[in-house]
Amino acid sequence: MAILDELVTQIENPDLRARIAAEVEKLAKQKKFGLVFEEHLPECTPLWDIPVKKGGKVALKAGQVSDFYTVLKIEDGIATCLNKDKSATAEFKVDELVSVAEFGEPIYPYLKPIDTVCNAPDSDLWHTLIEADNYHALQLLEYLYAGKVDCIYIDPPYNTGARDWKYNNDYVDNSDQYRHSKWLSMMEKRLKLAKRLLNPKDSVLIVTIDEKEYLHLGCLLEEIFPNARMQMITSRINKKASTRVGQFARCDEYIFLLQFGEMNIQKTKYSMLDVTDNSNPDAKEAKTDTIWNSMLRRGSEGSSRQESPNLFYPVWVNEKAKRIEAVGEPLPLNVDRHDVEKKPPKPGLRAVWPIRTDDSEGRWQLGFDTLRSYLDQGIAKLGAYNKKRDQWAIVFLKKKQKEQLADGVLISKGKDSDGSLILEWNEATEQDREPKTMWVRDWHDASTYGTNLIDKIIPKRDFAFPKSLYAVQDTLRFFVANKPNALIVDFFAGSGTTLHAVNLLNAEDSGHRRCILVTNNEVSADEAKTLSAQGYQPGDPEWEKLGIARYVTWPRTVCSIEGHDINGSPLKGNYLGSDLPMANGFKANAAYFKLGFLDKNAVALGRQFKEMLPTLWMKAGAHGAYPTIGDDQLDMLILPENKFAVLVDEKQYMKFVEELDEHPEIETVFIITDSESGYRDMIAGLDVKESYQLYRDYLDNFRINAARR
């Protein structure tokens, strides 16, 4: 409704404006069903590379980008502007303004190089970080990789209302009648673009969220992706839990998993549920304890001596040898157990009884004859001693463990001194487990393996609520473990955990997975106030260096790849679950770009070919370091290390073909020509995987896509 309210205010006739406003109010009160929310006011983006000019839309650099004006004239560095509801004019200095584009207007993005990190000069694996509003970055990615992405992992703002750095997490607009509208509108636009990126035959979308928006997000995902197989996982991310006044303390969040086509999860040795169930390879004792089960019957029903007197009998234990020596027979209800304890089968033995935690008499799970048989087979034994209760445990193998032993999931390494089997999990068969929908793993703790990890790498650069590196790694592994060349995108990149996790996966299995991160460069509300008070505004170097992309995401990427902190000191310790030292870094490379915007007329005339090169490099697969050229006019560009080539002057076609024959490694070709038929004739004679017509292919993509949104 907000957009209707906005349009109503632009009606000049007061009577007509009042009548339509009344009808809109009636419409807003109608009962609705399903996921219905207000299409929020159009989003805007600053176009820092487009000069302020007459007729263009602009906003104040220090103001809200959605509060835009239209430039009426420019004289002596002063712009006379008309506000967006056309009710008043104002004058501003041109250097205080930035050009803007509204949602739905065609924009022509390009990638402006900022920095690179190269720790594997012999590898053609290059990740990318794009600093941008993610909506426009997604428009560019659609041009580059429509239908080619294997996995999208996003951790969007949870709409908690917080305004700390680095993402504005307050997506509530007072003009919306439904408090979730602004957030849902923001997510809907981006998810629709994400849908076009995913490979419909085999891909996955992963979205994390908490209780603030999970209901609405689930409905939105079902609406946008009706053909997906969707599950929701509950994941414990904070063992200590976050206090909620008057409510239960929060220790978990949710993960929506949407699978498309043939995408299936990879089975794993981890159940993901029990922290002692293979969760930590170093916890050998805890791992072994999951094999043996207590003989004491638990629960309230059928667990007392009175209900099952034939299951109340003594187990005679030699405490010095720590073994079971004998199994007595059941006691009649009228016999006191303490009288039996005075007459052991032989001196020095102690009777162990099924005594419950409230000190009442319980019962065993096995009959005395069955226990004797289990002891002979080595599948029952004396368990741990509880010093506080002065009581020994009796343990045995249940049906499940016996089946696992028969099937080879458990293997016997011989017998212990007490005659019991020495059992271990068979690592070769543990891959057959189906993970559960509740994840409780110690190393998913966001504080220990998120916040503390970032603090190791970039000390004193706080980032609120980063994901555990290992939580992201585990989630990705389920879907790309068998895809060593997967393309993974995260367009709410935050601190850069996804790229870090992809590098860790690649290091563990020699994969060649490529990751694309997208994040804006916002500063916190408090930082913005401080910077403004110092006379700085968005776009100034002093402002930009404190934004999330430049202050956290990129430094983390560089340091994790090179294996040191921001001060150059080697990182300490190993990555969990592996013997990989953090100081070794990763054999990987990454390029950092800022999204800029081109003048479409200059593009059409071929005047911005130099600026277009990184975009062409990404479209061709981002092989090798992205190329750079000077300002000289070129007839063609042959780039075997990047596996692509560009024909600039179609008159040089025959020479171009000869060059391609010398470089069979080239897979992608771009041909600059205005002639559709000429382009078709030229590509017919080329033996390459992909070919594109410039600049028509580029310009048409953004013009058509803008129109259909």
| Local confidence band at 605 (pLDDT 50, 70, 90 cut-offs) | low
Q: Mean of the pLDDT values across residues 368-391?
A: 95
Q: Which of 18-27, 318-327, 585-594, 684-693 has the lowest mean pLDDT?
A: 18-27
Alpha carbon 14 to its chain's center: 50
Tell me phi and psi for residue 110, to 5 degrees.
-145, 170
CB 95 within 8 A of CB 82: no
Is the dihedral angle over the CA atoms 239, 244, 249, 251 positive or is it negative? Answer: negative
Q: Is residue 493 part of a domain?
A: yes
Tell me: do 75 and 152 sit in the same domain.
no
Q: Mean of the pLDDT values across residues 104-123?
A: 89
- Best CA proximity match to 74, nearest among 50, 101, 49, 55: 55
Tell me: do 116 and 53 sit in the same domain.
no
d(CA 136, CA 422): 60
Q: Is 270 or 250 the better-scoring residue by pLDDT?
A: 250
Tell me: do 510 and 580 sit in the same domain.
yes
pLDDT score at 39: 59
Residue ranges making up the domain that contains 128: 109-226+461-592
pLDDT score at 473: 96
CA distances from 493 to 45, 131, 146, 160, 445 (A): 19, 10, 20, 18, 19
pLDDT score at 432: 57
Tell me: do 89 and 148 sit in the same domain.
no
Is the confidence at residue 481, as pLDDT, over 80?
A: yes
- pLDDT digits 0-9 by tens, 24-39: 877 766 545 556 655 5
3-state DSSP assignment of residue 575 = coil
Is the confidence at residue 311, as pLDDT, over 80?
A: yes
Q: Is 268 or 386 the better-scoring residue by pLDDT?
A: 386
CATH number at residue 98: 2.30.30
3-state DSSP assignment of residue 595 = strand
Is the confidence at residue 288, as pLDDT, over 70?
A: no
Tell me: do 46 and 12 sit in the same domain.
no
Please state whether 460 falls in left (phi above 0), alpha (psi between -120 and 50) or beta.
left
pLDDT score at 277: 45
CB 110 within 8 A of CB 67: no
- pLDDT digits 0-9 by tens, 546-588: 899 999 999 999 999 999 999 999 999 999 877 899 999 999 9
Q: Which of 254-263, 267-276, 516-525 has the lowest mean pLDDT?
A: 267-276
- pLDDT digits 0-9 by tens, 444-461: 999 999 999 999 999 877
CB 81 within 8 A of CB 559: no
Tell me: do 98 and 119 sit in the same domain.
no
pLDDT score at 167: 45
| Local confidence band at 284 (pLDDT 50, 70, 90 cut-offs) | very low
Residue at which a domain ends, from 396, 421, 452? 396
Is the confidence at residue 286, as pLDDT, over 80?
A: no
Tell me: do 221 and 121 sit in the same domain.
yes
Tell me: do 113 and 211 sit in the same domain.
yes
Kindly state the percentage of the chain with pLDDT values over 70. Answer: 88
What is the helix (H) or strand (E) element at residue 59, kind and residue range? strand 57-60
Residue at which a domain ends, from 58, 78, 104? 104
- pLDDT digits 0-9 by tens, 148-159: 999 999 999 877
Count other Cβ atoms within 10 Å, centred on residue 609. Answer: 19
CB 676 within 8 A of CB 658: no
Q: Is residue 95 part of a domain?
A: yes
Identify which of 254-263, 669-678, 688-697 has the greatest average pLDDT: 254-263
CATH number at residue 197: 3.40.50
How many CA within 13 A on the CB side of residue 646?
A: 22
Q: Which of 9-18, 503-512, 673-682 has the lowest mean pLDDT?
A: 9-18
| Local confidence band at 485 (pLDDT 50, 70, 90 cut-offs) | very high
Is the confidence at residue 533, as pLDDT, over 70?
A: yes
Q: Is 462 or 156 the better-scoring residue by pLDDT?
A: 156
- pLDDT digits 0-9 by tens, 619-629: 999 999 999 99
Q: Mean of the pLDDT values across residues 298-302?
A: 78
Tell me: do 492 and 588 sit in the same domain.
yes
d(CA 524, CA 178): 26
Check residue 527 and report its DSSP letter. H
Is the confidence at residue 213, as pLDDT, over 70?
A: yes
- The amino acid sitting at 624 is G
Is the confidence at residue 421, as pLDDT, over 90?
A: yes
Tell me phi and psi for residue 66, to 5 degrees.
-80, -15
Q: How much is the mean pLDDT over the chain?
A: 87
pLDDT score at 525: 76
Q: Mean of the pLDDT values across residues 168-189?
A: 65
d(CA 646, CA 639): 8
d(CA 267, CA 434): 6
Tell me: do 60 and 162 sit in the same domain.
no
CB 97 within 8 A of CB 84: no
Is the confidence at residue 258, as pLDDT, over 70?
A: yes
Any idea which residue has 């430094």 for tokens? 555
Q: Mean of the pLDDT values across residues 205-219?
A: 92
Q: How many domains does the chain have?
A: 5
Is the confidence at residue 283, as pLDDT, over 60?
A: no
Q: Is residue 265 part of a domain?
A: no
Q: Is residue 600 part of a domain?
A: no
Is the confidence at residue 172, as pLDDT, over 50?
A: no
Q: Mean of the pLDDT values across residues 91-120?
A: 89
